Structures are given as structure tokens and as C-alpha cells.
Amino acid sequence: MARAIWTGVITFGLVTVPVGLFTATEDHTVHFHQLQRGTGDRIRNRRVNERTGEEVSASDIVKGYEVGEGEYVIVEPDELDEIAPGRSKTIEISDFVDLDRIEPVYFARTYYVAPRGEEYLKVYELLRAALEKTGKAGVATFVMRNKQYLTALRAEEKLLVLQTLHWADEVRDPGTELPDLPSRRAGRGKELDMALRLVDALSGPWEPHRYHDTYQEKVRELVKAKAEGQEVAVAEGPPEATGVVDLMAVLESSLAQAGASGGGKRSGSRRSGSAGKDSRRAASGSSRPERARASKARERGASRSELRQLTKAELYERAGEQGIEGRSKMTRDQLVDALARPGRRRAGSAA
């Protein structure tokens, strides 16, 4: 069972509920040790005294704020706790705001919030239900590990979720920070209509399990290949930027490709408003050649470029359907090559 990283209380008005915070996400990054080239010896980071060069234990390290050159005010860890004992144990909701009014750029880390005991379930559920029915988030601050956080407490189906927020002065203004932004909107014309049709063709429900960290898969494949003395496949470079002159042709090709790969069929998306209906009507009623190309694409099997858009898990599933031998040991590129062979595509479509 997971262990709470922080315990305290949530307060709103005069209501108090004891809770614990639990980490909602985990890191799946492939981690490496640091080694000295040519020796295989591990490299260790040590805390050393700058003057003597001797290693210092963690218990002998204190915090110091520099007030002048070489002059410090020393602060002990327990002194930091003493200046805000209540704040470090209380998530005090000061405001309730519409959740959809908080801009995504403000969100940082996510934590699950659980009640600390069965006797607090009723009060916990009361707060969760109130947030769910109103679509509000409780804005609060609290202190954890000697740092104060601005947070938004929101409701999910069965639990409360706390998300830390960036402070206003931590969010950069894109108008002053970014070098090039459009000076006018592309609000009309065939190009925008085509872009809307492409978005519609590629639309679908949010299914997080469909997405995979393909870079970490590549890293693991690299480590395995090097360990077995195999040749490491080099990935293709990024595609060329689309120029203004080629934009319409690229949009048309993108629509044709989306149709060939069944881009909009998994969506089941239901959009309200005339814009969604018009774009669907345009995508379905004005492009018989596109539907013909899509039909031919299905008959001949997926092309190499279409296969490269699939995850390794999806490629492996197709390889299993087509009975490709040795697929369990293949890399993603090898699966693409095997599925893209002309003879294989004809055999797959004939089956």
C-alpha cells in the first residue's frame, strides 16, 4: 500500500477533515549510473568542505543565507518548522473558483488526497461532492518540506485530487518572452477549412492507455542491443518544415492519409454546434476521391509511413495477426519493415 508523503488537515469555513497526500504519478525513465570512460568505475557525488576538501555528513549541514561577502545568517532546519507550525499541517481553502478558469500553464504536480480514518469519510465525501456538483476548485496554500505551495483541490469520481500551482510571478508572459507570434488570425479561407476537416478526421476520445513513451522504448532497445553486441539502428531525422506555398497540398495529403488509416473512425466524438456538423459534412460529402484512396489503401495494406505512426504495441499486435515469426524479438523498426514488405501486405489483405 502507498505511503502518505504528507499528513495534515483540510479546512473550509469551520469544517476540518484530516487527510494524507499520496503521489499520483511515477517516473518510468531509464536511469543510468555515471561511470569513468574506459574504466567502468562508478562516479559518486560527495558533499565536501570547500576550504578543507573533507567530506561532511548530512547531519552537520545547515542552511546559510549570505548577507555579505563570506558572511552568512545560519538557519537550523527546526527553526524553519517553528515559524509556521500550523501552516505545515493545514491546507486551508480560502476561495472556491471555477475549475475551468484556471489556465493549464499554472498546474504543476498532482497528488491524491485520502481521509485519515473511516470516521472522516462523511466529511471528506461532503467536500468532494460539493466540488463535483459546482464544478469548483478549492484554492489553498500549505507548507511541505520547507516550501509553501499554492494549490487547487478538485473532485474526481471517488476522490479528491490536489494539484500544486505555479505562483503568478513564476508564469512567463508569452507576449514578451517569445520572439515570433502570429500578428493576425487565419480565420477564413480554404486552408482553414481544410485544417478543420483534418482536425475532425483525427479527432477521438481521450484514451491515455493508447499512448506510450516510445523514446524510453528506444533507450531500452539500445541498451539491449549493445549488451548483445548487435548493431544499433539509427532513427530518421525530423520532417522538413511546411512552407506557405506547399501548405494546401500538404493539408490535402494529410486528409487522404487520415482517411486511409481510419483516422476518425475510433473517435465516436460528439461535437455540439454548427461548426462541428459543417466540418463533418465537408469531410464526408465533398471528397469521393479521398474515400476511394482510403479504400485502396486498406486493400493494399498500410504503407511504411502509416506504420511508423503506430506504437510498438500496435505494430506487435498487427504482426501477430499476420503470423510474422520472430516478432517478439523485433525492434519497432524491424516490425515496421516486416509489416511493410509488399508480399506481406498482399498476404495480410488476402487473409
C-alpha cell at 102: 484556471
- HSE value, Cβ hemisphere, 13 Å, CA-based, for 112: 14
CA angle 291, 248, 185 (to 5 degrees): 120
Phi first, then psi, for residue 138 (nearest 5°) are: -90, 120
Say what the pLDDT of residue 130 is: 95
Instruction: Please write the tens of the pLDDT for every residue from 61-90.
Output: 888 989 888 899 998 877 776 776 555 789
Of 141, 186, 184, the closest CA to residue 164 belongs to 141
What's the pTM?
0.61
Question: What is the pLDDT at residue 188?
Answer: 62
Can you give the pLDDT at residue 200? 86
Average pLDDT, the chain: 79
Instruction: Give burial (CB, 10 Å; 0-12/13-18/19+) of 339.
Output: buried
Q: DSSP letters of 267-296? A: T-----SHHHHHHHHHHHHS-HHHHHHHHH
pLDDT at 82: 72
Three-point CA angle 147, 151, 154, nearest 5°: 150
Taking a C-beta distance cutoff of 8 angstroms, is the pair 306, 263 a contact?
A: no
DSSP string across 86-145: TGGGEEEEEEEEEGGGS-GGGEEEEEEEEESSGGGHHHHHHHHHHHHHHTEEEEEEEEET
Confidence of residue 54 (pLDDT cuts 50, 70, 90): very high
Q: How far apart are CA 87 and CA 83, in angstroms?
A: 9
Task: List, in order, residues 6 or more apart from 2 with CB less than 8 Å away.
Answer: 22, 23
Task: pLDDT band for 262, please (50, 70, 90 cuts).
Answer: low
pLDDT at residue 236 is higher than 50: yes
Distance in angstroms (rounded) separating the CA atoms of residues 302 and 336 = 10
For residue 273, name the pLDDT band (cuts at 50, 70, 90): very low
> Residue 197 has what pLDDT?
85
CB atoms within 10 A of CB 344: 17
Structure confidence at residue 139 (pLDDT): 96
How many Cβ atoms sit within 10 Å of the Cβ of residue 215?
11
Q: Which residue has the higher pLDDT, 233 or 214?
A: 214
Task: Give the pLDDT of residue 343.
Answer: 58
> Average pLDDT, stretch 170-193?
79
pLDDT at 48: 94
Instruction: Tell me the C-alpha to C-alpha distance, in Å, between residue 145 and each of 7, 63, 76, 84.
Output: 12, 14, 14, 12
Residues facing residue 113 across a β-bridge: 21, 160
- Is the Cβ–Cβ distance between 35 and 43 less than 8 Å? yes
pLDDT surpasses 50 at 272: no
Residue 153, burial from CB neighbour count under 10 angstroms (0-12, 13-18, 19+): buried
Rounded distance between C-alpha atoms, residue 164 and residue 149, angstroms: 6
Burial class (CB in 10 A: 0-12, 13-18, 19+), 278: middle
How confident is the model at residue 285, as a pLDDT? 39
Q: What is the DSSP string of 1-20?
A: ----SEEEEEEETTEEEEEE
Give the Cα separation of 105 and 71 in Å (integer).
39
Strand partners, 35: 42
- Among 202-216, 248-262, 271-285, 336-350, the minimum mean pLDDT is found in 271-285
Q: What angle do CA 59, 60, 63 make, to 5 degrees?
A: 100
What does the pLDDT read at residue 152? 96
Residue pair 99/152 in contact (Cβ under 8 Å)? The answer is yes
Lowest pLDDT segment from 12-16, 244-248, 254-258, 347-351: 347-351
